[in-house]
Structure 1
């Protein structure tokens, strides 16, 4: 394949790398984690010069870890179902054997020499921590060098740019991302990933506790691997301090058909790109055709009240984040005034303008939205929406920007609601628009992560792939 040209995507035929189905071969001796890793490295060698998804690779350390996993599988004593799985870690999170540079020149060469909680948990489960994936600047909106694996002229999304791209490019079966507005669900949509942004606090973020509704998430090539990575982290590291962690079984849930789903409109519905609207309506028609009711905002006053509470979710999450991260950015600017992007500086200036009383009101509004979500638990099993407004935009496209706060990795309007709600959301790769991926997003109540994954598996099986040119 010529990797310098656009690769047309079809959800009916595309296959991302998977790991769960390799473990039987490991047990039988027909394959090994070391051989699996070498196949991943071959894809990385072929595709990385164009995709630019990795900041750092620890190939020597990965081979050593894969050899140890091979010995355990051969002896019939794997540490977990993900023993030997190559994974990428978003370069916001600390790893003892690689620098953590956070997409910022101010952290070039930063190497604390320690693992964050979820990285330690992954190693304890036997996962092979292969490298650090590209993030936008400090996980906000100023982009890194990564390109979309299906079209090098387009963004992979952000801020989990590299974590999404390594899945879409076929480099590894799973990667860690994080989201405070749309940084897991949107790039997963652009790069044909399965991905979960779990309930707030469900997976331990370690040192990244400075933003009150940021979430640790998982990108993967399959729902089985997605769940297995998430639950193995939770079993060993729990959730954020004060949070009960991810609820669910130790193995991936079977598909579950919902009875009723609510069409989540929010701010995004009116902005969905026309061809994507056509594709998504076909998904809704297919869902209706197999006996699942679709409720809209006019069908129930509780839905209308909920929609009203998330009508300004983008501004709400922007302002909360600006206030909470102001102190970090102020210190960076004091240290090196030219070391931060203008977009990040604009966030700092916005944070300066928000008073303590203003922040309290933002938190009140967020709490109200979460209460309106909880009121809908008896009404429907979950929510369905596009995972993004359309396919990945071209590199540098400022669509969705808010004044001087630029969003050149795609407009996150359809993702902000699940972030402020702290609700689990899963991207399901079942649509193609113009030969590019667009995901469908399922969302549920807080702590219903396992059920949302189960419904997502059902959706992928029940709804034929949708392609619109």
Structure 2
């Protein structure tokens, strides 16, 4: 499928909801169209671990009745949603992409899943994740080319939305697991301020986030806020700030280009597409600041130049005990990247962990220092379009380079991926990063850029 942002028609729940309110379509009919798309495309895309079709149809009929009575529960009542298979659902197993959890069925809802149900959303199924949400890939293919990776770890969520199977899917990001699949599959995606969306049972890491994949910015924001309104952010965190509806587009005065350690690895076609976007923004009166223009930006770039290695060491320390348990209790179930991560964790000392925490804190301070100098950072959301499987299979990153998408996790800052570009007929996303708790503003800026 040849992709171009000007011609691609993403699935929009907001448009469908207008039809529900007008009585020209029912939620059950919209669900049926999603199921038909899944029937047609799932044999190749392989985005789903399990579907609860009967439960989804029953939930859609309940939504039909509410709309007929003029009493929908929320702006996402009747919306089919996919849930990444790291997140617990009471009516489907949670197997985490790992044979160690095959058949695991906790029979409880994560906080965000309960919030979605309470808002009237239809929990359609569980989407494929890489093993334990790390780097060993599952069976999913890219929504636009089956020979290419969908990204990870939210591979099924990104591909399901890109393929038009559902308007929204829930993902999570520890390194780059929301923004990179979004870039590869033409999704809008919100990776919120750290702690901005309640992670429920998944509170084991100091930089993991719940994120939203969607076909449009309006659905992305509405879903996030309907969750947060009901269950807030992580314990001790205030959750996302903003209105229930997506903010209106906001033209930025100044954007700072963030290069990251991935800039030298950006291929010529992708770099040219990104530079052309910057020229269009300049033409609209937006000042574009580069690292050579502003010393504080150069200092910030220096503090994220080793972000990937720093954050992987932090994760390996925080993850080590759980991987040791899996090796002991389920020998032979860890894939190569998780085994490398475990070996790395065994070599991390407490002093090294403390040093990496200090480096992360320094990077966050340097981001804060940029607050008065730009309205947001702008960069590619991935190191080019999705690579082919045969080009990444034997690399440290079989689901694609993480260098662009990992930075906002490292910073704990909000990021929005927007499907603004195409390279060689494939999606290539752009990300906007703001100061912590500026999720709404970053979304408004991304919406303006998309115009």
In structure 1, the residue corresponding to 2:308 is in which secondary structure? helix
In structure 2, the residue corresponding to 1:149 is in which secondary structure? coil
Q: C-alpha offsets along residues 348-371 of structure 1, whole Å, 9 cap, x if unaligned?
A: 111111111111111111111101
Q: How far did residue 48 of structure 1 move?
A: 0.3
Aligned equivalents of 1:396 and 1:220: distance in 2? 28
**Corresponding residue of 1:467:** none
Q: How far did residue 337 of structure 1 move?
A: 2.0
1:220 partnered with 2:214? yes
Q: What 5-or-longer segments of structure 2 have no aligned partner?
A: none
Aligned equivalents of 1:273 and 1:72: distance in 2? 51
1:288 partnered with 2:278? no
Q: C-alpha offsets along residues 214-272 of structure 1, whole Å, 9 cap, x if unaligned?
A: 11000000000000000011101111111111111111100000000000011011111
**Corresponding residue of 1:457:** 447
In structure 2, the residue corresponding to 1:155 is in which secondary structure? coil
Q: How far did residue 396 of structure 1 move?
A: 4.5
1:426 partnered with 2:426? no
**Corresponding residue of 1:410:** 400
Structure 1 residue aligned with 2:384, among 386, 390, 402?
Answer: 390
Query: How do 1:65-76 and structure 2 match up within 5 A?
Result: 65-76=59-70
1:109 partnered with 2:103? yes
**Corresponding residue of 1:354:** 348
Q: How far did residue 73 of structure 1 move?
A: 1.0
In structure 2, the residue corresponding to 1:56 is in which secondary structure? strand
Q: C-alpha offsets along residues 287-326 of structure 1, whole Å, 9 cap, x if unaligned?
A: 0000000111121221111111111011011111111000
**Corresponding residue of 2:429:** 439
Q: C-alpha offsets along residues 309-346 of structure 1, whole Å, 9 cap, x if unaligned?
A: 11101101111111100011000000122111121011
Q: How far did residue 400 of structure 1 move?
A: 9.7
Structure 1 residue aligned with 2:294, among 289, 295, 300?
Answer: 300
1:242 partnered with 2:236? yes
1:79 partnered with 2:73? yes
Q: After TM superposition, which residue ranges in structure 1, 4 or more long, deviate above 4 angstroms?
A: none
Aligned equivalents of 1:33 and 1:433: distance in 2? 36
Query: 353-362 or 220-229: which moved more?
Result: 353-362
Structure 2 residue aligned with 1:199, among 190, 193, 196?
Answer: 193
Query: How do 1:109-128 and structure 2 match up within 5 A?
Result: 109-128=103-122
**Corresponding residue of 1:175:** 169
Aligned equivalents of 2:4 and 2:169: distance in 1? 22
Residues 82 and 127, structure 1, Cα contact 8 Å, conserved in 2: yes
Structure 2 residue aligned with 1:326, among 320, 325, 331?
Answer: 320
In structure 2, the residue corresponding to 1:383 is in which secondary structure? strand
Aligned length: 451
**Corresponding residue of 2:256:** 262
1:277 partnered with 2:271? yes
Residues 193 and 220, structure 1, Cα contact 8 Å, conserved in 2: yes
Cα RMSD, aligned residues only: 1.0
With normalisation by structure 2, the TM-score equals 0.99
**Corresponding residue of 1:464:** none
**Corresponding residue of 1:253:** 247
In structure 1, the residue corresponding to 2:213 is in which secondary structure? strand
Aligned equivalents of 2:289 and 2:231: distance in 1? 38
Aligned equivalents of 2:270 and 2:351: distance in 1? 40
1:145 partnered with 2:139? yes
Aligned equivalents of 2:20 and 2:407: distance in 1? 42
Aligned equivalents of 2:75 and 2:191: distance in 1? 21
1:97 partnered with 2:91? yes
In structure 2, the residue corresponding to 1:437 is in which secondary structure? strand
Query: 296-305 or 285-294: which moved more?
Result: 296-305
**Corresponding residue of 1:34:** 28
Aligned equivalents of 1:364 and 1:278: distance in 2? 36
Residues 399 and 411, structure 1, Cα contact 8 Å, conserved in 2: no
Aligned equivalents of 2:335 and 2:325: distance in 1? 14
Q: How far did residue 399 of structure 1 move?
A: 7.7
Query: How do 1:332-371 and structure 2 match up within 5 A?
Result: 332-371=326-365
Q: What 5-or-longer segments of structure 1 have no aligned partner?
A: 1-6, 462-469
Q: How far did residue 397 of structure 1 move?
A: 3.0
Aligned equivalents of 2:427 and 2:295: distance in 1? 34
